[in-house]
Chains A and B, each alone.
Chain A
Amino acid sequence: QQQVKQSPQSLIVQKGGISIINCAYENTAFDYFPWYQQFPGKGPALLIAIRPDVSEKKEGRFTISFNKSAKQFSLHIMDSQPGDSATYFCAASKSDSSYKLIFGSGTRLLVRP
């Protein structure tokens, strides 16, 4: 059962553009929504996360937008740079399930110079 659906599977953006990755979840008990960035040969690195009591969180060029009623959240990367080229995973967890992270299927982002 796929509880977190991520799209698109791949994304190509020009340098300086905005990268947008979307995720949808099914379980309304989820209460933590992180985004991870993974470079080839590396483990996932925590990028930014949001709790459902806020609709937006911004850290530098990275912003999470959260829509609780639609059960959707998205990652926006402003002024995308070639160094942002990586695979991005959204995830969700809930405190009553041992904080187990349920990951999306990933988005491969390529930022062209």
Chain B
Amino acid sequence: EAGVVQSPRYKIIEKKQPVAFWCNPISGHNTLYWYLQNLGQGPELLIRYENEEAVDDSQLPKDRFSAERLKGVDSTLKIQPAELGDSAVYLCASSLNAGSYEQYFGPGTRLTVT
């Protein structure tokens, strides 16, 4: 069974440019999470989806970040415009459903903003 798939794995952009990350969760997993992981730190939740509904986006900086999960399967996280401080690893995770504790992470996308 395939795990959580993310692309691209690495992205280098100049500041003020837009960038998008894609995630495909484990098949059958209805809950999808986007986390931000700064160097040397633990991941921090940005947004959580139950199917196509964003049910917790309180930590998402909405002035520049946006996310969507239109059909309740794969998801896209966008930053526009990117800032130097956005350099980090963006992780996607999924779990079976709203009542599942276990979260399974993808390999992440490492973003470098120059």
Contacts and interface: CB of A to CB of B under 8 A. Distances in A.
A106 B91 contact: no
Given A98-B48, A106-B40, A49 B102 contact: yes
Contacts of A95: 99, 101
A49 B32 CA distance: 20
B92 to A, nearest CB: 8
B103 interface: yes
- Please report whether the interface of chain B is mostly helix, strand, loop or mixed according to DSSP: loop
A44 B43 contact: yes
B95 interface: yes
Interface stretch (B12-20, B62-70, B77-85, B104-112): B104-112
B42 A100 contact: no
Interface residues of A, number: 23
Q: How large is the interface on B (under 10, 10 to 19, 20 to 34, 35 or more residues)?
A: 20 to 34
Nearest to A89: B42
Interface string A38-68: 0001111110010000000000000000000
Contacts of B40: 105-106
A91 interface: yes
A18 to B, nearest CB: 23
A35 to B, nearest CB: 12
Interface in A4-53: 6, 32, 34, 36, 41-46, 49
Contacts of A101: 43, 45, 103
Contacts of B103: 46, 99, 101
A103 B93 CA distance: 14
Contacts of A105: 40-42
The residue among A32, A36, A99, A104 with the most chain B CB atoms within 10 A of its own CB is A99
The 5 closest A-B pairs by CB, nearest first: A103-B42, A43-B105, A32-B101, A43-B107, A44-B105
Interface of B: 4, 31, 40-45, 48, 55-56, 91, 93, 95, 98-108
